[in-house]
């Protein structure tokens, strides 16, 4: 059925996005998750150069409001600047993901210890509710994360 009234179209979009963005995903059991070891792929200068080369001129700017033409005009200096920026952002994201994993693992261990000591589930749930949404903050050479 085709929607042609603006209000009905808006309502359809709203209902679609509400269901899409508010569904709970199943949570992983941390006891069974295998640790990840190995080298993490960093962003290299050649990748930045290639991405910049593929950017089309005359397109809308991103959040930085700097058109692709400006970055291209800067040549190697622009590539170096973008590479440095992307590397810092990448490092920041890695640290943030590590902190999230650290928080989750420590909390799972806390719940496990509380239950092992025979604490009533009611108190375990209260503690879980207290920690809900809390995040660790850490100061790094790049800035504050978390």
| Tens-digit pLDDT profile for residues 10-47 | 888 887 777 766 666 666 555 555 555 544 567 788 88
Percentage of the chain lying above the pLDDT 90 cut: 5
Crossing angle, helix 75-116 and helix 45-54, to 10 degrees? 120
| Tens-digit pLDDT profile for residues 91-142 | 777 777 777 766 666 777 778 888 888 888 888 888 888 777 766 565 656 5
Q: Are 85 and 74 in contact (CB under 8 A)?
A: no
Does the predicted model carry a pTM greater than 0.85? no
Q: What is the rounded distance in angstroms from the CA atom of residue 76 to the CA atom of residue 102?
A: 38
> CB neighbours (10 Å) of residue 145?
19
Q: Are 22 and 69 in contact (CB under 8 A)?
A: no
CB within 8 Å of 30: residues ≥ 6 apart: 104, 105, 108
């Amino acid at each position: 059925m085709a929607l042609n009234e603006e209000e009905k179209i808006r309502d359809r979009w709203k209902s679609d996005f509400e269901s899409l963005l508010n569904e709970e995903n199943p949570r992983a059991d941390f006891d069974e998750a295998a640790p990840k070891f190995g080298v993490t792929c960093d962003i290299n200068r050649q990748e930045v150069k290639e991405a910049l080369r593929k950017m089309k001129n005359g397109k809308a700017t991103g959040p930085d409001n700097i058109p692709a033409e400006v970055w291209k005009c800067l040549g190697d200096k622009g590539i170096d600047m973008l590479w440095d920026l992307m590397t810092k952002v990448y490092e920041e994201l890695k640290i943030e993901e590590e902190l999230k994993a650290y928080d989750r693992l420590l909390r799972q261990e806390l719940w496990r210890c509380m239950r092992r000591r025979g604490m009533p589930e009611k108190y375990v749930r209260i503690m879980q509710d207290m920690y809900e949404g809390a995040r660790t903050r850490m100061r790094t050479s790049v800035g504050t994360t978390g």
